[in-house]
Structure formats: structure tokens, C-alpha cells
Structure 1
Amino acid sequence: MASKGDLTKARLAESMLELIQTSGYSGTGLNAVIERAGAPKGSIYFHFPKGKEGLGVAAVDLAAKQFEALIAEAAASAGSAAGAARAAVEALATIVGESDFRLGCPVSVVTLEMGAESERLRQACATAFESWITPTTALLEANGLEAAEARSLATVVVSTIEGAVIVSRAMKSTQPLLSAADVVAELIDQRCQAAEKTR
């Protein structure tokens, strides 16, 4: 069972993540995080000695785990790699749409705002993206692609989805994400079928 301190630390990271999605990293103040988390004032520096940067890293790590779980769920429920990609993007489109386009990918937000300013945050974002590319690569390999091709295609898939989230938010429409789902699924199908023919 988690201790009171662990629960407070988790609440702070969750609150930071939620605020980054709606206000950006730079627009998120520590007082707002404390208020949203319902945490004592001194708790941030107790749990995150590096202050906002450390809290930002924890929020990015949390976002990485959440999307990794989405990928795993899609892979488990779909009958193919293409189906898993489509299911993951459609789930993401639902999240973005139901938030009235206020929620997107906090990892891309932090990358764009802080990637050149904080090496620690840049590395956390790179690790987050890698945590999505790696299982996607494994799924593609399980569907017959060679390791190098699977890695390359997984990187394209994750990059396409990230871009589609940004465009969907800008246009206040899930269509860019749904279009990305179509294209990504078709591309995966083509590559897997081609690999099947060469075996």
C-alpha cells in the first residue's frame, strides 16, 4: 500500500501533467500545482528537490506511462498491428475531442517549450517518445517486419500521431487524427503484407 508521502508525490505529478496540457509548461506555476493537488506548500521541494524541472520530468514520465498503457491495450485487443495503431489513435482522438481540444500530448508541449532550455526535460521527453516507439517496434516485428524496418516504421507512426494531435487541436477537429489513423493503418498493412510475401 502506498504511503501518504507517495500519494502526495503522485498527486503533484498528476496535477502538473494536467496543467501542462491546458496551460503549457511555462504557463504552469507551482502554486497552481499545489492548489490543484491539495498538497501542503512545502511538499513540492520535499518530493521534488529540483523544483519545477523535477516535477516536469515526473509529469512527462507519467504521460509516457499512460500512453504506453494505451498502446498495450490497443495491441491486446486488436487482431493486427494495423488494427492496434488505428485503435490507439482513435482512443486518442476521443480523449482530445472530449476535452474540447484542451488536452493533447504533454510530451510534445514540453519538448517544444523546453527542449532547448533544459537538457533534463529534453532527455525525459526523448525517453517518453522511445517508450512508445519500442513497443510499437516489437508489435511490428511480431507481425513479420525485420528489426530495422520495424524501428523505422514505428518512429514514423509515433511522429505522425504526434503531429496529428497538434493539428487536431489547432483546427478543433478530430479529423486530422482520424485521417492519420487511416494512413498509418494502411502503411502498416502494406509493409506487413510485403514482408509476408518475401518470407
Structure 2
Amino acid sequence: MSTPPRHRGAIVRAAATLFRRNGYAATGINEIAEVSGAPKGSLYHYFPDGKDQIAEAAVRFAGAGVVATLEKLEQEHHTAAAMIRAYCRLLAGWMAKSGFRDGCPIATTLLESAPQSANMATAGREAFAGWCAVIARALVRDGFGKAEARRLSTLTVSAIEGALILARVERSAAPIDDVAKSLASTLQLKPPARKRAAG
């Protein structure tokens, strides 16, 4: 029986936290080891390709965490609009708790590393696709067509990502609140316009 990966999870979680707070380039292997509590040798044992491989794992870990959160909210709310309002409330609280030091769990890493790393770009695409899939599914449940639900899910993720940047710069949850209200209005299914009676 193989030995369970004692330190791998701690390394990935520490890297995800450090990358979203400080950026990819500003985070070193020694800092990841220190925050994770793992021996430095463990980093190279689990991630022989170094920081790039750790970052890819951190993006996948953080991306899956967002999917899990969205799926939970999808079950708890009857409409996509309500789900997104609840998610934005969570984001606003999380940002405020960090003193607006934290950003999106994957965007900070991807912006710095994806252009040079095909593996990182793939991890990022899959993460965003997972988020969009949950939102699109909720929109289809609400009565939107699949193509429109897909477009609106992309709009939703893009708007939230932008709001997180503004919130971090302004050190305020107001941009997240504004986007939540606008998205909630946009994601409401509007009844089709009645045809005018002839004559």
C-alpha cells in the first residue's frame, strides 16, 4: 500500500492562498514550504517540476472549490439570480475579512503565468468552464435557452472577476454589491412580449 500524501494538500492550499494574495512571481518556494508546514523536500517530491506545477495544482484546487460552493448555492436557491446574489455576498464577506488583500482564487496566478504555461492555461480554462457550467445549468432550470444561458454565464463570471479587482483596489465591497444587483436583474427570465392582436 502506498504512503498517503501527507503534505501535498497543505502545500497546495498554502500556495493557493499565497498566490491569490501576493501573486505568482512574488511567492517563493521557501514561503510556500513555511506556510504549509511541509518540509521543503516534500515540495519537490510531490511537484518535481517546481513552482509551475504547484501553481497548476493550486488553480485546480481553487477552481474546484468555487464549483463546490456554486453547486451548494444552486441547491439552496430556486433561481440563478438568487444563487449569484448569495455567492456575491460570500465574496464580499471573504474580501472584507482579508482586509481586501485577497483576490480571485485563480485570476492572480493565471494573469502572471498562463501566457507562458500551456498547463496553467488549460487548468484556468477548465476552472472557468466549471464555474460557467454551474451557472448555465441554473439558468436553463430557470427557463433560459442553452445558448443564452451559456452567454449569460460568461457575462456573470466576467462581471464578478472585474468586481473583485475593483473591490481590491478600492478596498470596498461596493463594486461586488453593485455587480450582484445588476446581475440579479439581468438573470431574471423575462416573459416573451405578447403579440399585438390583429385588427
Q: Given that residues 164 and 175 in structure 2 are in contact (C-alpha distance below 8 angstroms), is that contact kept between their aligned partners in structure 1?
A: yes
- Cα deviation, residue 183, structure 1: 0.3
- Cα deviation, residue 140, structure 1: 0.5
Per the normalisation by structure 1, the TM-score is 0.92
Per the normalisation by structure 2, the TM-score is 0.92
- Cα deviation, residue 121, structure 1: 1.0
Percent sequence identity is 32
Q: Supply the distance in 2 between the matched residues of 1:135 and 1:116 (Cα, whole angstroms).
A: 26
Structure 1 residues 155 and 172, CA gap change in structure 2 (3 angstroms): same
What secondary structure sits across from 1:193 in the alignment?
Answer: coil
Q: Any stretches of 5+ residues in structure 1 without a counterpart?
A: none
Q: Any stretches of 5+ residues in structure 2 without a counterpart?
A: none
Structure 1 residues 5 and 27, CA gap change in structure 2 (3 angstroms): farther
Dislocated runs of 4+, deviation >4 Å? 195-198
CA deviation vs aligned residue, 1:35-63 (integer Å, no higher than 9, x gap):
11111121111111211111001100111
Match of 1:90 in 2: 89
Match of 1:65 in 2: 64
Q: Supply the distance in 2 between the matched residues of 1:15 and 1:167 (Cα, whole angstroms).
A: 25
- Cα deviation, residue 78, structure 1: 1.6
- Cα deviation, residue 161, structure 1: 0.3
Structure 1 residues 6 and 175, CA gap change in structure 2 (3 angstroms): same
Look up the equivalent residue of 1:171 and give its one-letter code. Answer: E
- Cα deviation, residue 196, structure 1: 10
Match of 2:103 in 1: 104
What secondary structure sits across from 2:99 in the alignment?
Answer: coil
Q: Given that residues 20 and 107 in structure 2 are in contact (C-alpha distance below 8 angstroms), is that contact kept between their aligned partners in structure 1?
A: no
Q: Given that residues 133 and 155 in structure 1 are in contact (C-alpha distance below 8 angstroms), is that contact kept between their aligned partners in structure 2?
A: yes
What secondary structure sits across from 1:54 in the alignment?
Answer: helix
Q: Does 1:188 align with 2:156?
A: no
- Cα deviation, residue 4, structure 1: 6.3
Match of 1:78 in 2: 77
Match of 2:148 in 1: 149
Structure whose alpha-carbon radius of gyration is higher: 2
- Cα deviation, residue 162, structure 1: 0.5
